[in-house]
Amino acid sequence: MSDFISGFIDEYFMNPIKYPDKYAPYNIVNTIAFAVIAIIAVYLIYKLLNWCGIATDEKFYWAIIPYIFFGSIVRVLSDANILSRGVDLMGVTLYPFITPQVYVLVFAVTLTSLFFCKKFFTNWQSVFYKAGWLLAIISLLPLLPLLKNFVLFGAIFVIVAMFWAILHFSPWKATNIEKGIILAQGFDGAATFIGVQFGGYSEQHVLGNAIFSTLGGPWAFLVIKFLFALLVVYMLRKEANKAKLEEIAFVSLVLTIFGLAPGLRDALRLLAGV
């Protein structure tokens, strides 16, 4: 029985991390497992923040954004072999710079920064926000010599700008956080579309590949991402009278992270050609 469990874990969880040249990074088993773990982690993080007296309001939402940039940049540093894929710690090989362990690393850095700023600064939210951008900028510096695919990178922003224009001129007035959700999800869709359609990349996620094969290509992923964002914003609006504003803002932040983080990683990989 133990051999079966060990073999199962190796086949579906460890081998995709250890042997990226032989295994796809995601399969149906680890995708479902990561999704369940993410849901549990999100709930526990929300409870932790509340227990520590940290309001997960709109200020908190925007203060987290630079840490999303930091995490995505760190992930690309590993893609570019600037950071080692595996790190040996007391005879155990860890993979802190690739998914899913990079989320743990970024969470630890973000939480440390949050508690440090809250303890030592009265205007801690402003300091926390600026510290995040400082981390993001410093981590970006090693990538600068690699940047080259500016046309394709710019195409992503053209698509996102179109989404922004639709939101800005639409009679349906979206709040800033709602725009954040839609633009983050749209950025992920645009980065995937440009990268796969024109950049020579392939989709790594199970759901993305299912959309490609079912609906006929990466353009479908872009459309579905945009429609998904509109749907969740509509649903959050309906729940606004039933849930606390802090709960709505926190859920909005989670949706933004799961759009912006992979989107930034894909866009920066494309820009750096790695």
**CA atoms of 130 and 149, how far apart (whole Å):** 28
Q: How many residues does the chain have?
A: 274
- Answer whether 196's CB lies under 8 Å from 267's CB: no
Model confidence pLDDT, tens digit, residues 27-39 = 888 888 888 998 8
Q: Are 199 and 270 in contact (CB under 8 A)?
A: yes
Residue 111 sits in the same domain as residue 126: yes
Please give the pLDDT value at position 32. Answer: 87
Domain that holds residue 82: 55-146
Name which of 260, 225, 257 is nearest 45 in CA terms: 257
Based on the fold, state whether residues 274 and 184 are members of the same structural domain.
Answer: yes
Considering the domain architecture, whether residues 156 and 223 belong to the same structural domain is answered as: yes
Asked if residue 221 and residue 131 are part of one domain, the reply reads: no
My answer on whether 64 and 49 are in the same domain is no
Same domain? For 139 and 154 the reply is no
CB-side exposure of 96: number of CA atoms within 13 Å? Answer: 12
In total, how many domains does the chain have? 3
DSSP label at residue 173: -
The verdict on 118 and 129 lying in the same domain is yes
Identify the top-confidence range among 3-17, 91-105, 114-128. 114-128
pLDDT tens across 111-150, in order? 999 999 999 998 999 999 999 999 999 999 999 999 999 9
- Asked whether residue 230 falls in the same domain as residue 171, the answer is yes
Same domain, 247 and 135: no
> pLDDT, tens digit, for every residue of 230-256?
999 999 988 877 667 888 999 999 999
Give the three-class secondary structure for 158. Answer: helix
User: Rounded mean pLDDT of 154-167?
Assistant: 92
Those residues whose C-beta lies under 8 Å from the C-beta of residue 107, and which sit 6 or more positions away, are: 45
Q: Is the pLDDT of residue 1 over 70?
A: no
7: three-class secondary structure by DSSP: helix
Task: Tell me what the pLDDT averaged over the chain comes to.
Answer: 89
Q: Which residues pair with 88 in a beta bridge?
A: 93
Q: Final residue of a domain: which of 16, 33, 53?
A: 53
For residues 173-190, give the mean pLDDT. 92
How many angstroms separate the CA atoms of 269 and 255, rounded? 22
Residue that is last in its domain, among 100, 124, 146: 146
What whole-number distance in Å separates Cα of residue 88 and Cα of residue 216?
Answer: 42
Give the domain-ending residue among 110, 128, 146: 146
Copy the structure tokens of residue 265: 């990683």
Dig out the tokens for 17 from the structure: 């991390």
Answer whether residue 2 shows pLDDT above 70: no
- Shared domain check, 241 and 270: yes
State whether residue 241 is helix, strand or coil: coil
Query: Which two tokens mark 190?
Result: 């645009």
Identify residue 255 by its one-letter amino acid code.
L
**pLDDT reported for residue 181:** 94
- Short-list 274, 102, 97, 100, CA closest to 201: 274
Asked whether residue 105 falls in the same domain as residue 164, the answer is no
The H or E element spanning position 14 is none
Is the pLDDT at 71 greater than 90? The verdict is yes
Long-range Cβ pairs for the range 136-142 (8 Å, 24+): 136/66, 136/67, 136/69, 136/70, 136/73, 139/70, 139/73, 139/74, 139/77, 140/73, 142/77, 142/82
Q: Say yes or no: 137 and 181 in one domain.
A: no
